[in-house]
Amino acid sequence: MDDQERAFLEAAMPHLDVVYRVARHTSRDHHQAEDLVQETYLRAFAAFASHRGPSTKAWLVTICINLARSEGRRRARRAVETSLPEHYEPEAPGVNVPEEALAKIDRASVSRALAQVPEEQRLAIVLMDLAGHSASEVAEMLGCPRNTVLSRVFRGRQRLASLLVGEDVNRELS
């Protein structure tokens, strides 16, 4: 193992879990996610000599989401973000979200529901809630204003909660 490879692995491997989480929820399935992670690390390794950024994690995640978006465009599967009105209107007014019940929903159901959230909202959620980036970091990664990121996260979480209520009801009925 040469010095460059060792330095890269020491800098990049601690972020494997985070990169996988991002890949997993921007891919169709875990096979594609693992391919995406591998591709991310290969691209990063090829560019490691010129990497000067302060955060290796943010750099890796940015490569990952750019690859995911390229793949999405290639497959013409890119979801269209649903436009919401300027004023917030819950999808199911009057229906309270049973917080305790949602906490008991299994991981697969949460993952399925998240996959149904519009892409831009889902990406903002993944980067903030699953990868642990701040709104400012996500804004820089996505090239959009910080408030836009916060708005997408808010709308995405509302959509997710609404979908999970459906999951919970369906589970109880079954």
> Which stretches of the chain bind other proteins, using CB under 8 A?
1-2, 4-5, 8-9, 13, 16-17, 19-21, 25, 30-31, 34-35, 37-39, 41-43, 45-46, 85-90, 93-99, 102-103, 105-107, 110-111, 113-114, 125, 129-130, 135, 147, 150-151, 154, 156-158, 160-162, 164
DSSP-derived secondary structure for 111-150: HHHHHTS-HHHHHHHIIIIIS---HHHHHHHHTS-HHHHH
Nearer to other proteins, 9 or 79 (CB): 9
Nearer to other proteins, 54 or 94 (CB): 94
Residue 119 near residue 81, CB atoms below 8 Å = yes
Q: Residue 78 CB, nearest distance to other proteins (Å)?
A: 21
Cβ neighbourhood burial of 22 (10 Å; 0-12, 13-18, 19+) = buried
In angstroms, the CA 144 to CA 150 distance is: 11
Q: Residue 13 CB, nearest distance to other proteins (Å)?
A: 6
Q: Residue 174 CB, nearest distance to other proteins (Å)?
A: 19
Nearer to other proteins, 21 or 58 (CB): 21
Q: At what angle do helices 16-24 and 30-47 cross, to 10 degrees?
A: 130
Nearer to other proteins, 79 or 150 (CB): 150
Q: Residue 65 CB, nearest distance to other proteins (Å)?
A: 16
Under DSSP, is residue 76 helix (H, G, I), strand (E, B) or coil?
A: coil
The 8-class DSSP code of residue 83 comes to P
Nearer to other proteins, 105 or 144 (CB): 105
Residue 117 near residue 159, CB atoms below 8 Å = yes
Q: Residue 173 CB, nearest distance to other proteins (Å)?
A: 19
Q: How many residues does the chain have?
A: 174
